[in-house]
Amino acid sequence: MSIVLRTQVGAGSEGSGACPDHGLVDALPPGHEPSACGKVFLVGAGPGDAELITLKGLRSLRKADVVVYDRLIGPELLDEVPSQAERVFVGKASGRHTIKQEEINALLIKHARQGRVVVRLKGGDPFVFGRGGEEALALASSVTIVTGHEQAGCGSYDVNWEALATVGGTLVILMGVETLPKITQRLLNAGLHPDTPAAVIQQGTVPQQRVVTDTLVSIAERARTAKIGSPAVTVIGGVVALSELLTWFETLTPQLAGC
């Protein structure tokens, strides 16, 4: 698994110029162009065999300016990194840490603010006991991922939607198309603003992808009239308003169709 986060260069920080806040989640571009807006790729190297890395992870390594890597990665992966790229070892073993987690977080931010493409290369999956969540939080605003699937047989939810309405950040709901009217109503009743941007994405990242956007108060009806079905993901929060700026998939789809 890999995730891409964009960090913002603020006043008085390292790097030149200002980075417009065009969002935090991004797709790997075909090529790397120097920018004051650095990117950090949190990449899982797999269980050991270097050939088990994802294609996107491998592409990010080949474009990296800096690779911050752990002890348990397949060492052959470093051969994929450009020769001029900086390699930083931050491996840990039980009771022996080369560098503290807080220092790793700061290191990622520092290089990204210098406009560099940074790969944080970790063994396994960075989000399964891999501290990837901590590193993502150091680089990005909060993201909460929950299931929208109704608990079988009792008509209730395990998810505390009332609490989620007050958390802030971005809310991502998996498997919630059929229950979206109930979910949105509970969020509204708990005080989440009716005009909060929302989107439902059906069959994301494949040529059949469909996306509808609206406000929280209207998104369920909008998805219904558009006949959006499973599998679909619902995103609620200010990041939805950036969808036109982050239309990487829509730009890529004509190329896929021509393959």
Are 160 and 144 contacting, i.e. CB atoms less than 8 angstroms apart? Answer: no
Helices 101-113 and 132-139, axial angle in degrees (round to 10): 40
SS3 170: strand
The C-alpha angle with vertex 197 and arms to 193 and 203, in degrees rounded to 5, equals 135
Q: Which residues pair with 234 in a beta bridge?
A: 173, 200
Are 172 and 233 contacting, i.e. CB atoms less than 8 angstroms apart? Answer: yes
Q: Which of 54, 113, 61, 105 is nearest to 82 (CA)?
A: 61
**Tokens at 231, concatenated:** 């599998």
Catalytic residues: 70, 92, 175
**What dihedral angle (degrees, nearest 10) is formed by the CA atoms of 227, 231, 234, 235?**
-130
